[in-house]
Amino acid sequence: MLELVLPLFPLPDVVHFPATRLPLHIFEPRYREMVADLLARPAGERRVGMILAAPDPATGAAALLQPGCAGRLVEHEPLADGRSNIVLEGEFRFEVEALLDGRPWRRARVRALEERLPAVEHERASRLETELAALVTALG
pLDDT one-digit tens code per residue, 21-63: 999 999 999 999 999 999 999 999 999 999 999 987 888 777 8
Distance CA 18, CA 20 (A): 6
Contact residues for 126 (Cβ-Cβ < 8 A; gap 6+): none
69-120 residue pLDDT tens? 999 999 999 999 999 999 999 999 999 999 999 899 999 999 999 877 666 6
Q: From the CA atom positions of the chain, what is the Rg in Å?
A: 19
pLDDT at position 124 is: 78
Specify the number of domains making up the chain: 1
The CATH number assigned to the domain holding 111 equals 2.30.130.40
Domain that holds residue 29: 3-139
